[in-house]
């Protein structure tokens, strides 16, 4: 009954209010909101490791590259880790639409806290951005899915790909604007520009909510009074325990950044296992829904391996760009942060091609499992190239920027095989009861991958930038891609009527 109501409301929305490139009009609102939100996030991300490793004399924090890389990995992991409770807030308290509005506001405040030239304010700002991103990220993607009431609508993958272009439009512009200002003018002014970007995204969302599916305002399974009181009590107890624990560690003189990095890294690996177990044991789900969740676990594991490598663009590859790559090409000089515009530039160029390809192939479309396998093989190949680039950069040699350009091009093709398709398959396989929370689980794959990368950086240290490290990671991804192809029939069977 609930499913019929949801699909009916979404159908009414998709048939009214005009269209956007052949898709529901609400896609334009979500497209622009995500563009500005990603502008703020990727602008901050382009500066993060560079700011952490810059000397104190240059206005940075003067950290070692390995420590900065681990902080970056744990931070990005936390952003996506909080997407799961963000989905829960939408499912149980506020609904997707209100949750996105609240999340955008918190993100904007966080960026402006980064703009304050005080070390404590900087790290508090990172916490705000992580919390706000968790509230916004999973729910805005859920609202894209709600625009298509038929889960097998052939426009669905194309709609998510167009939405993905919005993500990458913001990601492309951010390093060029925020990166340039941050590196060449003032770090904190760059962070302030990220806050302005989020403010524009929030305004766009509030003005365009009338075009969204009405169901986006509905709280699917609201908490009753007793549940609210019980959860508040538990939250306060956990908060008090954390305050006491870190208070003791700090005042005893034993606190280091590792007391934050290690617990968050391990938590990022434990939580996905917990959530999948809890959903699979929910007695309210049908056997078909549970089977689909089991099938989805395979996509989750593949995605985690993919993101472990892919998300190093803002850490490992940024350090390589800063230390071993010439920031000059054909006589033109540019800041190192500009390298992070390559991937979104390639996405915008290739995403329409991939979207058209998937639609043209129709029923001959490669299965989701094959697309995921192609993504793994591609991301593995990119680190084989990085192994060669690292070998070419021996000693004080600075290699041509074309090495990183090739790496980002390969990673983009791999990303387009996996990421937008992953968003789509998540909405297809998600039980109605866990619509937003399953999207949060999709983002926990990023968390898991980033946490593995963080742990490796904490253990290996500067060796994480070696040829051997690149070769091992690339080889693991290549092998996993081949194994997933060989196992695909079992996964397809678990997906049931979803194609």
Instruction: List the one residue out of 140, 163, 159 whose CA is nearest residue 209.
Output: 140
- State pLDDT tens for residues 439-479: 778 888 989 999 998 888 888 877 777 888 899 999 999 99
The structure tokens listed for 384 are 């084989």
DSSP 215: G
Q: Where are the alpha helices (DSSP H) in 18-154?
A: 26-53, 65-81, 83-89, 96-114, 119-146
Residues pairing with 19 in the sheet:
24
**What sign for the dihedral angle of Cα 490, 491, 492, 497?**
positive
| pLDDT at position 412 | 92
Taking alpha carbons only, the member of 289, 337, 313, 310 closest to residue 494 is 289
pLDDT 10s digits, 205-263: 998 888 888 888 888 888 888 888 888 888 889 889 888 888 888 888 877 777 888 88
pTM of this structure: 0.81
Q: How far is CA 264 from the centre of its chain?
A: 17
CA angle 109, 110, 111 (to 5 degrees): 95
Structure confidence at residue 6 (pLDDT): 40
Distances (CA, A) of 288 to 32, 276, 291, 430, 496: 36, 15, 5, 11, 8
DSSP SS3 for 401: coil
| pLDDT value for 15 | 40
How do beta strands 19-20 and 328-329 pair? unpaired
Q: State how far the Cα of 401 lies from the Cα of 414, in Å rounded to an integer.
A: 20
pLDDT of residue 264: 85
Between CA 496 and CA 286 the distance in angstroms is: 13
pLDDT tens, residue by residue, 51-102: 998 888 888 888 888 888 888 888 888 888 887 788 888 888 888 899 999 9
Q: Which two tokens stand for residue 420?
A: 């937008």
| pLDDT over threshold 50, residue 16 | no
Q: Average pLDDT, stretch 294-307? A: 91
Q: Using alpha carbons only, what angle is made at residue 317 by residues 314 and 320, rounded to the nearest 5 degrees? A: 130
pLDDT-derived band at 154 (thresholds 50, 70, 90) equals low
Spatial separation of the C-alpha atoms in residues 406 and 348, rounded to whole Å: 16
Instruction: State the sign of the Cα–Cα–Cα–Cα dihedral 130, 75, 420, 276.
Output: negative
339-348, 400-409, 478-487: which is most confident: 400-409
**Contact by Cβ (8 Å): 284, 429:** no
Q: 234-241, long-range: CB within 8 Å, 24+ apart, which pairs?
A: none
110-119: average pLDDT: 92
């Amino acid at each position: 009954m609930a499913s019929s109501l949801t699909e009916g409301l979404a159908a009414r929305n998709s048939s009214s209010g005009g269209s956007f490139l052949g898709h529901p009009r609400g896609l334009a609102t979500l497209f622009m909101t995500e563009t500005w939100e990603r502008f703020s996030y990727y602008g901050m991300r382009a500066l993060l490791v560079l700011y952490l490793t810059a000397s104190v004399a240059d206005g940075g924090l003067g950290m070692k590259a390995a420590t900065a890389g681990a902080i970056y990995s744990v931070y990005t992991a936390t952003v996506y880790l909080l997407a799961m409770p963000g989905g829960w807030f939408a499912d149980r308290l506020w609904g997707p639409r209100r949750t996105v509005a609240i999340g955008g506001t918190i993100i904007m405040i966080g960026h402006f806290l980064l703009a304050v030239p005080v070390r404590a304010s900087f790290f508090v700002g990172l916490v705000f951005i992580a919390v706000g991103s968790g509230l916004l990220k999973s729910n805005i993607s859920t609202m894209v899915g709600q625009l298509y009431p038929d889960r097998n609508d052939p426009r669905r993958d194309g709609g998510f790909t167009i939405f993905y272009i919005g993500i990458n439009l913001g990601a492309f512009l951010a390093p060029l604007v925020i990166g340039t200002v941050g590196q060449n003018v003032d770090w904190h002014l760059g962070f302030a520009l990220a806050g302005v970007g989020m403010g524009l995204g929030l305004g766009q969302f509030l003005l365009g909510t009338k075009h969204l599916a009405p169901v986006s305002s509905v709280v699917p399974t609201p908490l009753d009074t007793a549940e609210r009181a019980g959860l508040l009590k538990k939250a306060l107890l956990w908060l008090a325990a954390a305050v006491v624990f870190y208070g003791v560690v700090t005042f005893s003189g034993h606190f280091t950044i590792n007391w934050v990095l290690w617990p968050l890294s391990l938590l990022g690996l434990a939580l996905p296992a917990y959530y999948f177990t809890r959903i699979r044991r929910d007695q309210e789900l049908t056997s078909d829904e549970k089977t689909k969740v089991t099938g989805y676990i395979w996509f989750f594991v593949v995605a985690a391996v993919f993101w472990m490598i892919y998300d190093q663009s803002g850490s490992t590859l940024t350090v390589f760009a800063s230390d071993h790559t010439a920031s000059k090409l054909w006589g033109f000089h540019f800041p190192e942060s500009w390298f992070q515009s390559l991937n979104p530039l390639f996405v915008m160029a290739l995403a329409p091609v991939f979207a058209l390809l998937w639609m043209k192939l129709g029923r001959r479309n490669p299965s989701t499992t094959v697309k995921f396998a192609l993504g793994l093989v591609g991301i593995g190949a990119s680190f084989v190239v990085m192994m060669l680039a690292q070998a070419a950069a021996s000693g004080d040699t600075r290699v041509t920027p074309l090495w990183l350009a090739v790496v980002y091009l390969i990673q983009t093709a791999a990303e387009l095989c996996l990421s937008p398709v992953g968003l789509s398959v998540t909405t297809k396989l998600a039980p109605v009861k866990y619509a937003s929370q399953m999207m949060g689980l999709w983002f926990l794959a990023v968390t898991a991958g980033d946490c593995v990368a963080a742990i490796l950086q904490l253990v290996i240290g500067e060796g994480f930038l070696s040829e051997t490290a690149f070769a091992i990671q690339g080889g693991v991804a290549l092998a996993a891609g081949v194994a997933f192809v060989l196992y695909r029939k079992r996964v397809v069977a678990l997906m049931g009527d979803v194609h």
